[in-house]
């Protein structure tokens, strides 16, 4: 079963060369190069150094042979393409402040207008 948990608008904001801020609607997370997300307890401030923005979708997957079980976060990267991430423990909550975020090839969002990425 694949269930949409939420959808909305995201911003990815550069904080330092080693970390970014991911804003999902009004929820803020610090995203480190070590592939970890953590809750930013303060209110989100709008930043000027926006690296990416677009739509997002958060899914939960269970009992599907084609897909890895757990929460999947998909970020629209422009021209109809989506980048997928697996959140084995879900999005971080106040009691579980750090969680892994893993880049994966599985795509739950299907669009007809997807740009082709060339590998270099």
Nearest to 29 by CA among 3, 58, 1: 58
Q: Does position 115 have pLDDT exceeding 70, yes or no?
A: no
Provide the 10 A C-beta neighbour count for residue 84: 20
C-alpha distance from residue 29 to each of 11, 21, 26, 39, 97 (Å): 11, 6, 10, 5, 10
101 compared with 41, residue with greater pLDDT: 101
Query: Average pLDDT, stretch 1-27?
Result: 91
Question: How much is the average pLDDT of 93-112?
Answer: 80
Higher per-residue confidence, 22 vs 108: 22
Least confident of 7-16, 78-87, 107-116: 107-116
- Tens digit of each residue's pLDDT (9 = 90 or more) over 25-78: 989 999 988 799 998 876 676 667 888 999 999 999 999 888 889 999 999 987
| Residue 120 confidence (pLDDT) | 34
Q: What is the pLDDT of residue 119?
A: 39
pLDDT at 87 over 70: yes
CA distance linking residue 11 with residue 23, whole number of Å: 5
């Amino acid at each position: 079963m694949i269930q949409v948990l939420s959808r909305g608008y995201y911003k990815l904001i550069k904080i330092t060369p080693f970390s970014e801020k991911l804003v999902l609607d009004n929820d803020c997370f610090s995203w480190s190069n070590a592939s970890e997300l953590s809750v930013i307890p303060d209110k989100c401030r709008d930043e000027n150094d926006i690296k990416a923005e677009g739509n997002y979708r958060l899914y939960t997957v269970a009992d599907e042979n084609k897909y890895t079980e757990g929460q999947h976060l998909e970020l629209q990267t422009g021209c109809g393409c989506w980048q997928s991430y697996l959140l084995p423990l879900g999005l971080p909550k106040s009691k579980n402040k750090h969680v892994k975020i893993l880049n994966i090839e599985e795509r739950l969002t299907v669009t007809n207008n997807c740009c082709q990425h060339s590998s270099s």
